[in-house]
Structure 1
């Protein structure tokens, strides 16, 4: 008889109330895969957007969640880098590998890297999706260099506050947009300048930027083009009104990024976390059973840092 596990599943699209804890069949690892017992799982804006409908996953039923921190339970045939008992963390394949809001997940072994002992499972679960997004935007796509000027929108948010730290680690001059109440937090992360988007138009006061990371969309992309110097790069993390023709006419490059699993980048994130150079701000922590409350918190739009679910007690 197949073993079962608890998972937060939804059978229809809708508000947070559609999330229910149910028993489902526990997966088994195939060749090159590992079964991980989840200790904590991050909650990201993409979770509540998919829950509400219109995301990449199509129609429910499905289990959401891409961030994982936990313990290897079983290793499939051919796995050489992880053993049962290893503490690991990583991001499930985005978007179609969702399912971390559950007691167990199965994924390719190289989805995961060793969790540094210096951080707990809550910290580790907050890093993968947002951290990889920031890394792939700044390092892989924009190829940030020492001394460059980087503008990060929603710099106190999940991706934004990690992007600030990564950009500073790479030696950039960092400018972040956020409400005035979050400026001290940004400076504590190392931001060189903080712009109150409620009081001023960032496009009027920020100039000669090499890289923009846009986590907001809407008109932020077109407005950000005005801040870039010739040859600059705008990386959009959301669908926006930005047109590549507009970017080309402005003499800059525009890219839209969807995050991907990346063993090499996860190894770098783990090393930065171990060294104390990268740390997720934890906005709030909820048990798996309160996933709906976690979504409600996220949708307030007042989150600083990350929301995390714990699974099976203290992480």
Structure 2
């Protein structure tokens, strides 16, 4: 078969011939891959920086995909924990990490939206139980996952959703997909902190794709501006686009009801994540969530690695 193959963490994958894997376990089946998304999670695994990376090379990148069995069944699946990912013409599927998709499903839509969508979907359904009418701030709402988080929070019952990010064009688009208010994260620290404090002081939940310096400024801004600091604020850390670490002053934890948690592989079991996928897939297939896949042939994976995307787009490779 042909596949995208990483032989050095310093270089993009290349389209090469690669031995076809074989299904061997009781729950395994070999599928023809139809579409696989180029997500940030995939990029970090391909360059060795993801926290689950064990340094194995060569590897086929790809976290998830849509594939078809020999019997014609259409599956969305999450790759097994090996170096053989989904950016290939064929892949081995563990049926325990897969769901069946209905006839008529557009494989590209599912491949584009499931990974970025599941981050907030799982966080708001498995890590917490979002109360109807709650207010939610999405830090990093101008990214693909953040834009979907705005939509998903509203779909799951949030009464008010605020999107915060840097890109002005992408911020403008957020109101068209459900944001009640937007906050620009450009400017000096005090200006940004004041904006966040004014717009989002009393939110119930923060979905954080940024971390780093942005979160380090945002936490005190929100907590000190709250009308009632004993009101619980749940901060869900999902991504670290702005940095891996923050400095957290201890008085913040004593002076306010701040609950910090993460959501991702490890904080939620694989079985727990897979259990949340069917209802998310239903929303994608139904068109409830705005999806914009940019299709690129797998043979052009090197070019795809550096292809810019428009707001809301996600690159999808098609073997």
TM-score (norm 2): 0.82
User: Counterparts of 2:21 and 2:251 in 1: how far apart (Å)?
Assistant: 47
- The equivalent residue for 1:203 is 196
1:97 shift after superposition = 6.5
- The equivalent residue for 2:274 is 263
Q: 1:36 aligns with which of 13, 31, 35?
A: 31
User: Counterparts of 1:244 and 1:116 in 2: how far apart (Å)?
Assistant: 50
User: Counterparts of 1:224 and 1:124 in 2: how far apart (Å)?
Assistant: 33
- The equivalent residue for 2:66 is 69
- The equivalent residue for 1:235 is 236
- The equivalent residue for 1:90 is 77
- The equivalent residue for 1:9 is 5
- The equivalent residue for 1:100 is 86
Residue pairs, 1:131-210, within 5 angstroms: 131-172=117-158, 173-178=160-165, 179-199=167-187, 201=192, 202-205=195-198, 206-210=200-204
CA contact (8 A) 1:44 1:158 kept: no
Corresponding residue SS for 2:201: coil
| Structure 2 residue 285 is matched with structure 1 residue 285 | no
1:245 shift after superposition = 5.4
Assess, with a 3 A threshold, how the Cα gap between structure 1 residues 223 and 305 changes in structure 2: closer, same or farther: farther
1:227-277 superposed Cα distances (whole Å, 9 cap, x missing partner): 256311111113432659576333211112224642321111122123322
Q: 1:251 aligns with which of 245, 252, 257?
A: 257
Assess, with a 3 A threshold, how the Cα gap between structure 1 residues 304 and 22 changes in structure 2: closer, same or farther: same
CA contact (8 A) 2:59 2:83 kept: no
In terms of fraction of residues, the more strand-rich structure is 1
- The equivalent residue for 1:215 is 209
Corresponding residue SS for 1:37: strand
1:47 shift after superposition = 2.1
User: Counterparts of 1:131 and 1:98 in 2: how far apart (Å)?
Assistant: 23
CA contact (8 A) 1:157 1:306 kept: no
Assess, with a 3 A threshold, how the Cα gap between structure 1 residues 289 and 221 changes in structure 2: closer, same or farther: same
Question: Bigger shift: 61-70 or 288-297?
Answer: 288-297
| Structure 2 residue 218 is matched with structure 1 residue 224 | yes
Corresponding residue SS for 1:21: strand
Assess, with a 3 A threshold, how the Cα gap between structure 1 residues 197 and 281 changes in structure 2: closer, same or farther: farther
User: Counterparts of 1:97 and 1:129 in 2: how far apart (Å)?
Assistant: 18
Corresponding residue SS for 2:212: coil
Corresponding residue SS for 1:152: strand
1:293 shift after superposition = 2.1
User: Counterparts of 1:114 and 1:144 in 2: how far apart (Å)?
Assistant: 27
TM-score (norm 1): 0.83
User: Counterparts of 1:244 and 1:194 in 2: how far apart (Å)?
Assistant: 27
Assess, with a 3 A threshold, how the Cα gap between structure 1 residues 35 and 305 changes in structure 2: closer, same or farther: same
Q: Unmatched 5+ residue regions in structure 1?
A: 74-83
Q: Unmatched 5+ residue regions in structure 2?
A: none
CA contact (8 A) 1:91 1:112 kept: yes
User: Counterparts of 1:297 and 1:91 in 2: how far apart (Å)?
Assistant: 24
